[in-house]
Chain A
Amino acid sequence: MSDTTKQTAAAVAPEQTSSSEEREVLLKVEGLKKHFPIKKGILQRQVAAVKAVDGIDFEVRKGETLGVVGESGCGKSTMGRVITRLQDPTGGSIHFEGQDITRLNSAGMRPLRRDIQMIFQDPYGSLNPRHTIGSIVSAPFRLQGVEPEGGVKKEVQRLLELVGLSPEHFNRYPHEFSGGQRQRIGIARALALKPKLVVADEPVSALDVSIQAQVVNLMDDLQTELGLTYVIIAHDLSVVRHVSDRVAVMYLGKIVELADSTKLYESPMHPYTKALMSAVPVPDPKRRGTKSERILLKGDVPSPISPPSGCRFHTRCWKATEICRTTEPQLIELRPGQQVACHHPENFADQAPQDTVLLSAAKEAVELVGEAVLEKSAETVAAAEAEEAAAEAPVADAEAPVASEGTPDETPEAESGDQESTPK
């Protein structure tokens, strides 16, 4: 049905990506799944599974920061624990520096633990209260049997200094430190063995705003200084925008959009990304009252035990049509550096233009999509399509007019225009 458009889009994509910056791939994740079985009865038969992560693909390139955002329950934290192999994946594969680490046992992972480190959210819970800072930060050396140059103590003191703590803190205990300082200790511990990849799960969300900024800056500095690669998992879209080169947006165990940070935030393509970003309050009172810019999703995220068919977002999406209910959209690169899994993306040519009848749920999906949003999205879509059409003219000229006329129909408010724009 929509194959022609998909193909053309896919065909255009590669040649454009080739021009984009190519960095060496450090971590490659394919079809990653993590299901948590739900067991019942005496025999503990598995009756269902929480599909926390349900088939995701992405790459992390050397030296970059990949941000992962999503609401609670979208599987982002589970993803973090699986790619660091703190939990075993249910399916898919993980390659680190070309080596398949999907099925490595703990002995096999041991040497890799040096290269992959994790920073946790809770600076209180992740430090053993009975150990001194010195012994906490030096633990990786002991566990890996590494003797750093100049001795462990000297190295630990150097690390403490690196993260902005005083080397004299060596013999103190975690409770003597504030939240921000504890997070610094966690970072020092993670960096002890000079890892290549650092996965940080909500590294700043437990901290106060002013302290949060200190830690964000610190992580930034350390990246420049040590050439670290980060995967930063966070629910705060502002923080993620600030720290990330690329951002993956997760919804119910899937990546719905994966794009360069600037592109994602300036012209999000997936309706969920758009809704998510429009919900973030902006510290600018003048923009208040411009309700037109806000998309207010109704209802709650469905259960990951039995996620909706087709596109998982279709139950809450204001653009959902029949195809969204029946066919799962693939994550494809529609624009260079921007992968989206959507049949009816924003800011881009419709991927299923013939499918114009909105699902009844779609009309009730959002409380208010301001007229401005709809107009704007129609406008940008039209513009994008004009561009596309021009580019594709020799290949698929028949496709363009249908697409450009069909798209405004996706927006509930524009339904009146339906009769005119449908040629048949």
Chain B
Amino acid sequence: MTDLSKTGAAVGEPVNAPSDAPNAFLEVRDLKVHFPTDDGLVKSVDGLSFSLEKGKTLSIVGESGSGKSVTSLAIMGLHRLGPRGKNVQMSGEIWLDGQELVNASPDDVRKLRGQQMSMIFQDPLSAMHPYYKIGDQIVEAYRVHHDVSKKVARKRAIEMLDRVGIPEPAKRVDGYPHEFSGGMRQRAMIAMALVNNPELLIADEPTTALDVTVQAQILDLIRDLQKEFGSAVVLITHDLGVVAEIADDVLVMYGGRCVERGPVDEIFETPQHPYTWGLLGSMPRIDRETSDRLIPVKGQPPSLINVPSGCAFHPRCPYADIPKGDVTRTVRPELELVPGGHWSACHLPAADRTRIWTEEIAPKL
């Protein structure tokens, strides 16, 4: 389970060339997830590629509607289930440990869910069934994939509750979700997700609903557990502070596409995309006294039905007029390797980008 032999830089390897089974533990290639609605086709994810190794954490950052949550559900194969699941149009490839998931049979994907890949959600109160005991819900998760008696599974549940730091696990195992505090519920949720030692853990805004002190506890727990189990973690968040805290690699999404991707230090030190600059400039920071104003991104996030042509960010980008002609309005920028060693999808010439970042943006942050 905790095979760490396949470690390596998760980003930096070009992933556009479609080949057979990839070397990376998790590899997503040109993923597209579209939802037909009465108003038109919602292109939630529109050509996303990335890879991730075991033991590493990838943070997907973006605002609401950027497609980050849909990506996580797509990996889990979750949005295809349910009444409207049939209508979802999905293409591309998702490789998990040598197995392709987009074209796999639903039952094969189901067997992987909860076993090899599992997920924790934003609001642990609504994510747990209100009528069943915490313990029973964990037992259920364990027994789906393990042919063991209820007694054995219960022992395992208590063990997991203990592991995630719930006091008196033998007693709390019989508690109901509403009897737990927010932080304890999220711990229980993590215990449930990890009960089968998954190799991939997807955490969708796991701390957004929690207070800061509890958030710190939960992030710490996720980090420790990752070290212990050696799993790959995909952490979806809108909070760049959380990203800096926990991620090895960062993927910034905008309008269903990746606009920038790279190691965390790179993204924070020499970000190359104006949207990333905007995110950094929008964030008030606790560690600095800024009587200066925040530098917000002007305008509104794009509609996913009528995604702006060319670069989706161009209507909000202060530098859209720098590249010659109307290339920003007509040509969609592809991810390119930038000098620092990460990937960015922007039409701005590299020299301009460096100049703007070092001279205009960075000093104000």
Contacts and interface: CB of A to CB of B under 8 A. Distances in A.
A220 B245 CA distance: 29
B283 A288 contact: no
A280 B296 contact: no
A180 interface: yes
Tier of interface size on chain B: 35 or more
A152 B365 CA distance: 42
Contacts of A238: 241, 283-286
Interface in B178-216: 181-184, 211-216
Given A208-B301, A216-B284, A281-B239, A71 B212 contact: yes
A93 interface: no
Given A178-B300, A208-B301, A284-B268, A279 B283 contact: no
Nearest to B278: A210
Contacts of A286: 265, 268
A216, A286, A300 interface centre (most CB from chain B within 10 Å): A300
Contacts of A297: 213, 216-217
B300 A283 contact: no
Interface in A170-228: 178, 180-181, 208-214, 216-217, 220
B242, B268, B283 interface centre (most CB from chain A within 10 Å): B283
A298 B214 CA distance: 8
Given A281-B239, A283-B268, A284-B268, A209 B282 contact: yes
Interface string A222-241: 00000000000001111101
A214 B296 contact: yes
Interface string B247-284: 10000000000000000110010000000001111111
B295 interface: yes
A281 B241 contact: yes
Given A283-B243, A285-B244, A300-B181, A213 B216 contact: no
Contacts of A327: none
A124 interface: no
A58 interface: no
Nearest to B216: A279
Nearest to B65: A208
B59 to A, nearest CB: 10
A181 B300 contact: yes
A213 B281 contact: yes
B65 to A, nearest CB: 9
Contacts of B268: 283-286
A209 B238 contact: yes
B166 to A, nearest CB: 11
A25 interface: no
B361 interface: no
Contact of A208 (B64, B183, B289, B293): B64
Contacts of A210: 63, 278-279, 282, 296-297, 301
A279 B216 CA distance: 6
A241 B284 contact: yes
Contact of A300 (B184, B219, B247): B184
B284 A300 contact: no
A236 B184 CA distance: 21
Nearest to B61: A209
A379 to B, nearest CB: 20
Contacts of B290: 242
B360 interface: no
A45 interface: no
A72 interface: yes
A282 interface: yes
Contacts of A26: none
B212 A300 contact: no
B39 interface: no
Contacts of A241: 284-286, 289
B364 to A, nearest CB: 12
Nearest to A235: B211
A275 interface: yes
B284 A276 contact: no
B317 interface: no
A222 to B, nearest CB: 13
B169 to A, nearest CB: 15
A279 to B, nearest CB: 4
Nearest to B289: A262
Give the top 3 A-B pairs by smallest Cβ distance, nearest first: A281-B241, A213-B296, A242-B284
12 contacts: A178-B300, A209-B239, A210-B282, A211-B296, A265-B286, A280-B212, A281-B239, A282-B285, A283-B243, A283-B244, A284-B268, A284-B287
Given A208-B63, A213-B295, A280-B286, 13 more contacts: A71-B211, A209-B240, A210-B296, A211-B300, A216-B294, A216-B296, A217-B293, A217-B296, A220-B293, A265-B286, A266-B289, A277-B286, A280-B241
